[in-house]
Every structure is written in structure tokens, then in C-alpha cells.
């Protein structure tokens, strides 16, 4: 099944204790696409400016990502600059220049109309609703959000959530949105809005799935060296939805496997800056880490 992703394509300047990159390929739709392409055909909708390097577009295309929906607008590309301290769990944003992203309105190429899965990255909830109206026939819809939208557009975000099947958020966002420190209670409030499942991403601590089938928790894949956590959440979403699209059905079993795939793919992303590691990941590497993951976490069911 094909996956349509709507999100950002950016030029990121990132500094961590382990290095620095300037104006490197980034953005939620990029990380998602390069993760999900390991599992299923991916179609991208985003906007870049006149200054966006052609080599980045070529990279996406070479990795099987359909870039027919990548609009090139007048003006400079969206730029984000951030810094991570030794505690790599959260970024300090140094600068955000929305540029062409500020006036972005997603436009679906007609050929995207038959997309079966839809992922809306952490864009404005108003844009998420515009997207939903343009592709009403998707089989599975998922969205992510971020603190900024939770703070300034909580009602619109709640409304968008009510229209999707799966919500992905990080831990602090879920707590903020639901107004409670208890993650279980926050999850219940979010599921009451309508989605069938909520994935709470916990960075280096893994992820939790709350769904109509119950609860599932998975740690992150253990890594000796994390160089740059940028894109981990979107890569997770790409592995997660990518696996579900490949499996072709949403069951308790595939949802759990999808969480592990999300963690596995994200573990590659953070091993290097930008998409340097993610772009080189092979299916064999994914399979190997998945099997290691099982080995690291399985224990005897008998007390």
C-alpha cells in the first residue's frame, strides 16, 4: 500500500556535542519518507524555495520517494537551527525561518488520490484539515503535532485528531495537550476524541502504544553512540506506518511489530547527522536490529 506524507522539507543547521552540520537536508517529511520507503511506496507533499539544492530532490527520488508533490515556491526554503546538549533528549531551537513554509497550502497531485495511508507531520492543524478534505478516501490516517500547535490551536488540533485513526505525539506533548501528568490518563483523553490508537514517543526511552486493543510499551533500541537525534520522531513514524502499510492490516500483532520497526528505523537515523545514516539503511540491517530487539526484550511468560 502507498503512503502519502505531508510535512516539511528543511535545511537544518544542527550542533550536538558530537559535531555540527550546516544547511543539511532535514524536515519531517524527509525523515518520514526515507524511513517509510524501506517498507512501501512513499509520496511526498511539501514545499521548498528556489534555493533548495537539486541534489536533495534527486536523493529522495533515488530512494523511491515520489516527489511529484514537492512544490517549488518563490523565496527561500524553510530553515531550522538547533543545538543539543549532552542530554540529547531535547533540542534548543536557535532559529526558525519559515520562509516559503509560512504560506504553504498542501496541494495533492491527482495521481496521489488513490493513496491508502496518510501521514500528516506536525504542520498547522488547519493544514491537516485541508489535507484530509483533499484525500477523503485514504484507508488509514495519522497525524503528529508539536508544542506550538498544542499551545496556540488546541481546539483545532483536537478536531483534526478526531478525524484520524492514529495520533503520534511525544510524551511532553501528550501531557500538555491533555493537561495531566499521568500518561495513562492523557492517553484516555486523546483516545476519547476518536483515534483508534495513540503512540507516545519517549525518545531514548522508547514508545508506548495505547489502542482499542490495549497497551503496549517498547524501549528504544540501545545505541552506544547517538550523534544527532534530529528526525528520530519522524523516522519512527515512517517505520511505524511503513510497516503497517507493508503488512496491509491493523491488528494487535501488526501494531506491536510496527512500534518496534519505528524504533529500529529511528535508531539508524540518530547514529549520524541529517539523513546520512538513514539514507544508507538496508532492509537486511532493519531485519537484524528487529531480531536483536526481540532478543533484548523477551522474557518468560511464566512467573
Is 87 a residue that touches its own copies (CB under 8 A)?
yes
Is 298 a residue that touches its own copies (CB under 8 A)?
yes
Alpha-carbon span 264 to 221, nearest angstrom: 6
CB 44 within 8 A of CB 24: no
Stretch that binds its own copies, among 42-50, 112-120, 125-133, 287-295 (CB under 8 A): 287-295
50 or 292: CB nearest its own copies: 292
Number of residues near its own copies (by CB under 8 A): 40
- Cβ 298 to its own copies, closest distance in Å? 7
Is 260 a residue that touches its own copies (CB under 8 A)?
yes
- Cβ 2 to its own copies, closest distance in Å? 21
- Cβ 190 to its own copies, closest distance in Å? 15
Strand duo 91-97 + 42-48: pairing: unpaired
Among 72, 105, 139, 294, binds its own copies (CB under 8 A): 294
Count CB atoms within 10 A of the CB of residue 272.
19
- Cβ 176 to its own copies, closest distance in Å? 12
Among 4, 160, 259, 270, binds its own copies (CB under 8 A): 259
Is 37 a residue that touches its own copies (CB under 8 A)?
no
- Nearest one of 45, 32, 34, 47 to 77, comparing CA atoms: 47
Stretch that binds its own copies, among 59-67, 99-107, 125-133, 212-220 (CB under 8 A): 212-220
- Nearest one of 55, 105, 50, 54 to 78, comparing CA atoms: 50
Is 225 a residue that touches its own copies (CB under 8 A)?
yes
Binding residues among 147-206 for its own copies as defined by CB under 8 A:
181-185, 202, 205-206
122 or 235: CB nearest its own copies: 235
Is 249 a residue that touches its own copies (CB under 8 A)?
no
Which residues contact its own copies (rule: CB under 8 A)?
86-88, 181-185, 202, 205-206, 208, 214-219, 222-225, 253, 256-257, 259-260, 286-287, 290-291, 294-301, 303
Amino acid at each position: 500500500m502507498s503512503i502519502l506524507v505531508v510535512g516539511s522539507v528543511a535545511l537544518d543547521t544542527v550542533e550536538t556535542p558530537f559535531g555540527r552540520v550546516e544547511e543539511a537536508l532535514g524536515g519531517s517529511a524527509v525523515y518520514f519518507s526515507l524511513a517509510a520507503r524501506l517498507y512501501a511506496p512513499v509520496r511526498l507533499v511539501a514545499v521548498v524555495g528556489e534555493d533548495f539544492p537539486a541534489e536533495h530532490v534527486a536523493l529522495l527520488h533515488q530512494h523511491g520517494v515520489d516527489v511529484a508533490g514537492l512544490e517549488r515556491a518563490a523565496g527561500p526554503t524553510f530553515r531550522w537551527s538547533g543545538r543539543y546538549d549532552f542530554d540529547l533528549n531535547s533540542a534548543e531551537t536557535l532559529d526558525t525561518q519559515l520562509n516559503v513554509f509560512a504560506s504553504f497550502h498542501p496541494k495533492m497531485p491527482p495521481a496521489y488520490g488513490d493513496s491508502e495511508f496518510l501521514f500528516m507531520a506536525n504542520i498547522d492543524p488547519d493544514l491537516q484539515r485541508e489535507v484530509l478534505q483533499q484525500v477523503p478516501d485514504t484507508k488509514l490516517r495519522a497525524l503528529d503535532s508539536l508544542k506550538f500547535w498544542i499551545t496556540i490551536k488546541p481546539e483545532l488540533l483536537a478536531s483534526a485528531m478526531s478525524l484520524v485513526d492514529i495520533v503520534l505525539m511525544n510524551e511532553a506533548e501528550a501531557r500538555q495537550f491533555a493537561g495531566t501528568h499521568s500518561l495513562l490518563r492523557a492517553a484516555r483523553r486523546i483516545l476519547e476524541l476518536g483515534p483508534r490508537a495513540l503512540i507516545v514517543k519517549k525518545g531514548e526511552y522508547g514508545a508506548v502504544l495505547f489502542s482499542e486493543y490495549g497497551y503496549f510499551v517498547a524501549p528504544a533500541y540501545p545505541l552506544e553512540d547517538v550523534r544527532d537525534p534530529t528526525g528520530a520522531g519522524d523516522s519512527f513514524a515512517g517505520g511505524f506506518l511503513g510497516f503497517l502499510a507493508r503488512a496491509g492490516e491493523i491488528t494487535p500483532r501488526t501494531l506491536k511489530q510496527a512500534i518496534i520497526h519505528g524504533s529500529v528505523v529511528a535508531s539508524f537515523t540518530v547514529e549520524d547527522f541529517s539523513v546520512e545514516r538513514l539514507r544508507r539503511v538496508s532492509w537486511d540491517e532493519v531485519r537484524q536490529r528487529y531480531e536483536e530487539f526481540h532478543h533484548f526484550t523477551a522474557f518468560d511468560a511464566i512467573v
